[in-house]
Amino acid sequence: MSTDPPPFPGTLLGATIAAVRPRDVAAERAARERLDRMTKPPGSLGVLEDVAAQLAGTAGQCPAPLPTPAAVAVFAGDHGVHAQGVTPWPQEVTAQMVANLAAGGAVVNAFAAQLGADVVVVDVGVATPVGPAAGLLERNVRRGTADLALGPAMTLDEARRAVEVGIEVATSLADGHGCLVTGDMGITNTTASAALVCAFTGAAPAEATGRGTGVDDPTLARKVDVVTRAVARVPASPTSPAEALAALAEVGGLEHAALAGFVLGAAAARVPVLLDGVIAGSAALVAAALCPAALEHALAGHTSAEPGHALALRALGLRPLLGLDLRLGEGTGALLALPLVASAARALRDVATFDSAGVTEK
């Protein structure tokens, strides 16, 4: 048993880490036993049986409640590294897309409507004020990060405050929602994601850095160089919560910080969290370093076309439910996996056992 003092005393982050507990072993065992007694060959639902058991472990009961309705939190932020020419898209697109998301005009809004999920957009670090709008939470910590190619993207205090924004949003949404879904928006946020993946897994920048919105070869080379320079300032893969927060502040984004907090907040509330693409995957690496038990309550919705995403999921030990070569973000890939998660929970709850149905076993 660790004798280290609790991390971040006197803060919401510290209190949330202390509140996270592993999945309930007894509930998970009961789910496995019920799955084996259901009117089907044992193990025939494959990965969905693992999902069903995990949901029971998170809820602490078998069967687990259905993971509906779901809520998607789209955390938005800008990045000073935009000045390095790592994308052809202008930075103003972040604020414009935040307004579009809040107005219901983005892809994630369409997918959410199809599934009856709620969408909340959170300005945690957009460079220019978006203005009041229904469905928009203004929780801006700072107007975009500093340029991570030149120095720390955030101060430690800013990083912690952004993490706590995510915790607060998760805590509020956990009341009345059966599943929380990660979303993101931020021009150049794949650059920060690649840096986080390298910092937390030891991957080479050329291996973890992708084309994001579809950059050309010279821009990709510039992006790899930026990630290489940034990661060189992180001494080693973080092994403590304090080192994790320091690495996040050095090379991460405000939306990454909020997403890490979102994962922690969901875990503390015992609500499953469904992860989207590379932004969420890199943020989950931070969450896992801050509190390893938190990732026991997370599911990987899909694996994206960004190479760093598969590296992050492998390091986290998470198996993606879908592989559709998506690279949009916003929470779109995770939402597409939501029916699989809900189906796993419903099967565990509703399917008869051999005894109850009077079906003869082999």
Q: Tell me how crowded residue 26 is: count the other CB atoms within 10 A of its CB.
A: 12
H/E stretch holding 138: strand 136-138
- 326: helix, strand or coil: coil
Residue type at position 83: A
Q: Find out whether 170 and 267 touch, Cβ atoms under 8 Å.
A: no
Give the contacts of 79 (CB within 8 A, at least 6 positions apart): 144, 145, 148, 153, 186, 187, 188, 189, 191, 192, 253
Q: Find out whether 125 and 141 touch, Cβ atoms under 8 Å.
A: yes
Report the alpha-carbon distance of residue 210 to residue 273 in Å, rounded. Answer: 25
Q: Find out whether 297 and 23 touch, Cβ atoms under 8 Å.
A: yes
Spacing of C-alpha 123 from chain mean position: 16
- Picking from 161, 168, 152, 160, the residue whose alpha carbon sits closest to that of residue 265 is 168
Which residues are identified as catalytic?
Answer: 330
Token pair 């893969």 is found at: 237
Report the alpha-carbon distance of residue 68 to residue 80 in Å, rounded. Answer: 37
For CA atoms 316, 322, 328, 331, give the dihedral sign.
negative
C-alpha distances in Å from residue 34, one per residue of 37, 47, 52, 271: 5, 15, 10, 21
H/E stretch holding 270: none
Q: Find out whether 179 and 273 touch, Cβ atoms under 8 Å.
A: yes
Q: Tell me how crowded residue 180 is: count the other CB atoms within 10 A of its CB.
A: 28
Q: Where are the beta strands (DSSP E) in 60-100?
A: 70-77
Token pair 């369409």 is found at: 110
Token pair 């939402």 is found at: 335
